Amino acid sequence: MCIGPHGRRAVSVYRDRYERFTASDEYRASRTRKAKVIAHLCAPYLTGEARVVDLGAGTGIVRKVLEVISGNRIFGIEIDGSFIAERERMVRGDVLRLPLASESIDFAMLNHLYEHVRDPGLLFEETYRILRPGGRAYVTAGSRLAIMEPHYRLPFLSWLPRASASAYLRMSRKGRSYDDIRFLTYRPLTRLMRAAGFIVEDVTESAIDDLIQSTWGDPWAAVWGGIRKIPPGARHSLLRVGSPQWFFCLERPARPGTVEADGTA
């Protein structure tokens, strides 16, 4: 970005496509849809007296919509203060050094966050630390092998080495550098979650079952109907490699001998 005549900002041909998108009405609408998806999948963990935090909350739009839907106060953590649009109950902080006490949170949301941090293993360790024993986290995670990269909408961008990906961005005039986005494939990602101490449940299939028609429409519902006919083992393998994103529910194990809210040990 540079300053043009009369003090007005002149838009560079290399202005980041993602920066433009996050400032648009389209982006706000997409965050509202995302919040409704999370509310649908995570309703039992958002209501009542649950202590809930949205990690890497970005603009805060998702947090605000979820608060309205759930009727519960929800806090957001975001490192980039200039990015925050809805400032109520938003805290500026680093998700790799969370400004939260250990075992103070019932439910955490990590919505397309891991690829934006320099150390995703530490991200999951910090999430584990702040959750109470028996607490849970919702993770939506993009795949490095997604054909269409979700931030810049360029095919195969995340497949490339970083230097090549940055050159591709500049050639497309959609951005300047891809150095700060680090997607993983399925096994390395889930390995980091388990190494942090979590019980990892992949809920991708049930999430797609619930959301495919209402969120992605009839054509994708037809495609998913065909995939659903594949035998379970092969279908699971296909989703691990071919799905552009995955949905996970992480649980911090309860301490031995403790009793959960439903009365089970």
> Rounded to an integer, what distance in angstroms lies between the CA atom of residue 174 and that of residue 154?
9
Does residue 51 have a pLDDT over 70?
yes
Does residue 18 have a pLDDT over 60?
no
Determine the pLDDT at residue 82. 83
Domain-located, residue 67: yes
CATH assignment of the domain containing 126: 3.40.50.150
Q: Is the dihedral of CA 32, 37, 40, 41 positive or negative?
A: negative
Domain-located, residue 258: no
Domain-located, residue 257: no
Categorize the per-residue pLDDT at 16 as very low, low, confident or very high, splitting at 50, 70 and 90. Answer: low
Query: Which whole number is the average pLDDT over 8-34?
Result: 62
pTM for this prediction: 0.85
Residue numbers of the domain that contains 95: 10-146+183-251
Domain-located, residue 265: no
The identity of residue 54, as a single letter, is D
Query: Which whole number is the average pLDDT over 111-126?
Result: 97
Domain-located, residue 177: no
The region of weakest confidence among 2-11, 160-169, 213-222 is: 2-11
What is the residue-wise DSSP string for 69-118?
A: HH-S-EEEEES-GGG-S--TTEEE-BTTB-SS-TT-EEEEEEES-GGGSS
Give the tens place of pLDDT for each residue, 180-220. 999 999 999 999 999 999 999 999 998 888 777 566 667 77
Domain-located, residue 53: yes
Domain-located, residue 157: no
> Rounded to an integer, what distance in angstroms lies between the CA atom of residue 70 and that of residue 6?
47
Of the ranges 2-6, 227-231, 258-262, the best mean pLDDT one? 227-231
Determine the pLDDT at residue 133. 97
Domain-located, residue 164: no
Query: Which whole number is the average pLDDT over 76-86?
Result: 90
Does residue 110 have a pLDDT over 90?
yes
Query: Which whole number is the average pLDDT over 45-50?
Result: 90
Categorize the per-residue pLDDT at 83 as very low, low, confident or very high, splitting at 50, 70 and 90. Answer: confident
Backbone angles phi, psi at 88, to 5 degrees: -65, 130
Give the tens place of pLDDT for each residue, 86-99. 899 999 999 999 99
As for how many domains the chain has, the answer is: 1
Q: Which ranges in the chain belong to alpha helices (H)?
A: 17-22, 25-46, 61-70, 120-130, 162-172, 186-195, 204-211, 218-227, 232-242
Determine the pLDDT at residue 61. 92
Long-range contacts of 68-72 (CB under 8 A, 24+ apart): 69/35, 69/36, 69/39, 70/39, 70/43, 70/46, 71/47, 72/46, 72/47, 72/48
Query: Which whole number is the average pLDDT over 151-161?
Result: 95
Q: Which position has the higher pLDDT, 108 or 81?
A: 108
Q: Which position has the token pair 């986290």?
A: 137
